[in-house]
Every structure is written in C-alpha cells, then in structure tokens.
Amino acid sequence: MSMNVGINLLEVDGKATPSIQAAPTSVAGFIVRSKRGVPGKVRQVTSFADFRDYFGDYDKAAFGAYAVRGFFDNGGSLAYVTRAVATAASGSVTAATPATRDFPSAGAGATTAITVTAGYRGSPDPGAWGKGISVGITSNSDGTYNLAVQYNGVQVELWEKIKFGGVGAENPLKINDEVAGSKYIVVAIPSAATANPAPTASPAFAPLNSGGADDNLDASGRESDRVAELQKAVDNRVFDGVDVQLLCCPETHDAALVNAALTYCADRGDCMFVGHTAENADADAAKAYGQPLRGDKRYGAIYFPFIRVSDPLGGFRWIPPTGHVLGVYARTERERGIWKAPAGNAASVNNALDVKFAINDVKHTDLVKNGSVNAVRFIAGQGIVVDSSRTLSTNPLWLYVNVRLLFNFVKSSLKYGLRWVVQEPNDPTLWSKVKYNSVTPFLMGLWRRGAFGPGAPDKVFSVKVDGENNPPANIQQGIFNVEVYFYPSRPAETVIITVGQQEGGASASDR
C-alpha cells in the first residue's frame, strides 16, 4: 500500500495467537417417529414449539414429541431431529404418501393449473396429517389470485397477488422457497398449464383429496420393520453434517440399533449415544439387557426405567427417560461444567411424576456395577433424580459419563481451536505458540474450574510439542504432532460414612 508523508497507521495481527474456544457439548440428536417431517432431513429445533412446527404434535403411537419436550423442559437448548418414515412400499410394508390435489384452470375443458401437495418449504411431507389441509383460491381484478391455506379448519397462510408465470406479479413457485416458503404445502405448475387456477367457490376451501396416508410401521407385529426404518438414520449417517454431541432414539431399545449407534458415535469420536431399557423390564431384566451391550463401549450409556409424565392428549403416559436425561446432561453442563457427573441431587428430572420400577440401594448397585445400566430413582426429600452415571465401558478408565463427555469436549475444542495451525511453518516457533499460547491456557482454564482431578496443574495435565514428537521425518511429510494428556475429575460414586463409639471425655474425681 502507498504511504502518505507524515504519520501512517497500520493494523496487524502482531504476535497474538488465536485462543482455543470451548466447543459445544450438549447438542442432542433425536431419531423419532412423528406425525410429519420431510423424510431423510435433519431439522434444527431450539424449542418444543419449533419441533411442533416441523414434526407435528404429540402422537399416541410414538415417543418422539414427549422425549424432545423432556429435553427442553430439563435444560436442553438445541437439538437436531430426524423423522423415520417408510417412503417406499416393500413386501407388506406400506409407504407414507403426501396428500395432494389438482386445481383446474377456469373455463370449459380446463386443464390442471396448479397441483398443491402437503409439504414444508419446497419438499413434500408425507402422512395423514396432510388431510387436514384445505386450500382456498380467490381471483383479483388485476389478473392475479390469492391462495390461502387452512390447517384443521384454521387459516395459517395467505399467498397474495400471484399469477401464472409471475409476469407483473409474484410467481406461485415462491411458495416452494426453502427459506421463506410455505410450512404446509408445495406447489407444482404442470407443463400444459396456461392460466391461473379457477377460484374455489364451493367449497370456499377445498381439502387435499388424494394420498395422505401414514406408513403401517406402528401396526401390531411391525416392530422389526419399524426398527429397520429407525436404524436407517444411523446407517445412512444423517447426522454427519451437524454438530451433535449426544444421540438417542426414544422409539426403541432394540440391541442391534443400539450397537449400530454406539459404533457410529465411536467412529465420530465426539458423540455419545444414550439409550434405555424396555418399558416392562424390572431391575433384573434391565441388568440382563445391559450385560451383552457392555464391553469396550465408552461412547454410550443406558438408563432405566420408564418415567411417568402428564400426557397433553389426556391422562398420563409412561415414556423412556432418554429425552429428559439428555436435558439433565445439558443443564448440568451449563450449571456446573461438562466434567460434573450428570447425576445426584442436582440431577432432578423435571416433569417426571413417577418411575415405572422403584429399586433399593442394593438393587441399584447390582444394576450399575453388573449391568452398566443407570437408574432414574425417587429419592426421599429430593424427588425423582438421575442417580448414577456409568457408561457401557468395563474399562476402569472410561467408567463414567462425565469422563467421556469431558474428553469429547477437549478433543472437539482442540480440533477446531487449532485450525489456525494448518499450513503454518512447522518449526520451534509454531511449537511454542501452540503449547504456551493456545493449549496450556485452555487447559489451565479447565483446571481452575475443577475439570481435572486433585493436584497442581503440572501434576494433572501435560502438553508435549517439541522436536521429539516432531522429528525431521515428520516435518518433511507435513505432519505436526501435539500430545495432550490430563487426569479427569471423577465422581464420588460410593460414599463411605464411618460411625462408631468412643470413650466419653468426662472424668470424675473425689475432693
């Protein structure tokens, strides 16, 4: 750049090194059955209202809405949800289809002017929910028309002054915009169409009259088919494109799906699967369920039993605890830190009214130590709480949920926080910056907040990045190596209180 005569002021980065920012820790991924939702898509939701907007309301045949509500009620703030639905018939499995209707153009021998299909912002959305949609078309004096959408008898959208071809007015295809389009319909203009659709005079709102069917996966005897559809979300890795740290499928406890999800989370290295036992499994059955799942399964945890919640559809309902538990994870991380075990008195389960099976301390110990299954329990004076925090791992290094979550957090934070290192000269200057300006301050911050076990910083964590682990052979190949080790905080799981008698302190003497 050219310089002026006199004083010139320049701004540069100088010697500053980018700091490592904390990675997200409690974003949840849900695989659910629901009334609606575009198949194969993952949708971000930041509240239960968001979920209802995209996936519909509560459904007696599914647990999805109840689990997501439990997540937000217990402290969750961000989730990604995908709907499992059969979209192709196979054998005796019937596919879900979107409701649709053709609207003719005006005049004799009219052809179809527009086809309206149940959908969400440009994509068809199959299911019987679409039968609740009705469309009203009115014409305007300027040659345009208005298209109004009713859902269950209530007008929810109005698209004004649209016109075939969009010349001098809005194009009807704006209804399909993936950002600002309709939340209820998608439209198609047949190639043979030449004019606006005729007004819907009788009735004023015409229902979508074709299609609009659910699949039959919730019918009796369809458990294996339903599980297969749910597992597609895992097998197809639909969450690869989003940053989730927790994953659950409240719709099933099927062991094959659980193992597939555990493998998926281990492959990612930054995610943990949270599952549940069967509804009618008592403590012994829950232990038997957990035993074949345990082993080198450090990326998963299982919870028992079902919990009772108030059902907005009427009465009460027993549901899996997983959604509520993930909310407790998120609340614990926000209030105490990711290194705090999401269990104990502070891990109260909001809006849980009862537990399906009550167990005593002996049963709880057996369940946790011999089945690697955690319990949601009623504790006198505390209410319903998550009372244990074991992973499915039998390796003593990875027994606890908070240890797994802490390692996921540190790995993700380092991965994204050291992005600036890529393509920098691999020399002692870079090694020093990484060790002293980036990684060590990040770990010191965690130490000060209690993330590591007892001891001075140099006793509980270390950072190695020097000529020993970056020899010339590695440098020639473009390999930069930094090693981080730390001693994680572990929960006081078994508390021993010793109470005994001693001699009295008083003494007597004659005078």
At 38-72, the pLDDT tens digits run 999 999 999 999 999 999 999 999 999 999 999 99
**349 contacts 384 by C-beta, under 8 angstroms:** yes
137 CB-contact burial (10 Å; exposed 0-12 / middle 13-18 / buried 19+): buried
Sign of CA dihedral 398, 403, 405, 408: negative
User: Residues 342-355, buried b or exposed e (16+ Cβ, 10 A)?
Assistant: bbbebbbbebbeeb
Nearest CA among 68, 145, 64 for reference residue 103 = 145
**Are 137 and 105 within 8 A, CB to CB?**
no
**Residue 109 vs residue 243, higher pLDDT:** 243
3-state secondary structure of 103: strand
Q: Alpha-carbon distance 271 to 357, whole Å?
A: 29
pLDDT at 109 > cutoff 70 = no
The reply to whether domains 28-86+218-304+315-343+389-402 and 100-207 share a CATH topology is no
| Pairwise pLDDT comparison (173 vs 369), residue with the higher score | 369
Q: Is the dihedral of CA 232, 233, 235, 241 positive or negative?
A: positive
What does the pLDDT look like over 206-263, one tens digit per residue? 999 999 999 999 999 999 999 999 999 999 999 999 999 999 999 999 999 999 999 9
Which of these, 330, 382, 389, lies nearest to 355 by C-alpha position?
382
Work out the average pLDDT over 172-194: 90
The pLDDT of residue 395: 95
Contacts of 436 (CB under 8 A, 6+ apart): none
User: Would you say residue 490 has pLDDT above 70?
Assistant: yes
Helix axes 48-55, 64-73, angle to 10 degrees: 160
- Lowest-confidence range among 110-114, 217-221, 413-417? 110-114
In the chain, what percentage of residues exceed pLDDT 90?
A: 83
Rounded to an integer, what is the distance from CA 80 to the centroid of its chain?
4
Average pLDDT, the chain: 93
Residue 508 has pLDDT above 70, yes or no: no
The pLDDT-based confidence of 203 (bands split at 50, 70, 90) is confident
The architecture in CATH of the region 28-86+218-304+315-343+389-402 reads 3-Layer(aba) Sandwich (3.40)
Average pLDDT rounded to a whole number, residues 452-457: 94
Task: Give the residue, 34 or 500, on which the prediction is more confident.
Answer: 34
- The token pair at 158 is 């109005």
For residue 16, count CB atoms less than 10 angstroms from its CB and return exposed for 0-12, middle for 13-18, buried for 19 or more.
exposed
Report which of residues 319 and 162 the model is more confident about.
Answer: 319
Q: What is the pLDDT of residue 507?
A: 60
Give me the pLDDT at residue 264, please: 97
Architecture of the 100-207 domain? Sandwich (2.60)
Q: What is the mean pLDDT of residues 155-164?
A: 92
Each domain of the chain, given as residue ranges in start order, spans 28-86+218-304+315-343+389-402, 100-207, 422-501
CB 323, CB 376: distance < 8 Å:
no
- Distance from C-alpha of 226 to C-alpha of 222, rounded to nearest angstrom: 6
